[in-house]
Amino acid sequence: MPVAAAAISNTAPVAPPKAAATSTPAKAPAQATGPKKNLLTALREKYGDQYAIEEVKEAESLNMEKLRACWDAYGSTLEAQQKHSASGTFKMAVLEIENDIHFTVRVPGLTAQKFVEQERMMLIDQIFATFNNRSIKFSIIVDATEKEDVPIHMRLNSKQKFERISEQYPLLKELKEKLKLEIDY
């Protein structure tokens, strides 16, 4: 420990501890020869190839043409992955821009909503990369205008089902009467 104290006293006077806690790093003396360098140039000179230093790209706000192109490109990616149902959903979806960082996706049914939800993370990453904007968000709305077709046999009760089948096959009603069966509806 006495050696370290001797080294400090030989180099420079020691600052009081209070000043050391609040002091800022010492700045390198400015070069008198040449123009003033910007921070990016100085970092590139100092660190060179150790780090990949890139300029931050300007964040873009949403616009319909670029958003639609990105959306369609993602749909094509799904088709290439042979996810045809999800790809079809992406083709049918209606996009509406709400503001600079939010848009709405309108899909025709609950199944279509599930397909978009399933791809949400990968899709939003592609949108972030396209617009250089990580604050973009979207919501999915199911249009109630399209009524999903429910097969007739699922809408009928037991009695209606039997009557429908007996109309198609008259021998069924005859068999029921011959065997004296009673059907609990």
Query: 166 with 117, same domain?
Result: no
pLDDT band at 2 (very low <50, low <70, confident <90, very high): very low
pTM of this structure: 0.50
Q: Per residue in 10-48, pLDDT tens?
A: 344 444 444 444 444 444 545 545 567 788 788 777 777
Do the domain assignments include residue 153?
yes
Query: 76 with 130, same domain?
Result: yes
Q: How confident is the model at residue 153, as a pLDDT?
A: 62
d(CA 69, CA 80): 16
d(CA 77, CA 84): 10
Q: Per residue in 104-113, pLDDT tens?
A: 999 988 888 9
Query: 85 with 133, same domain?
Result: yes
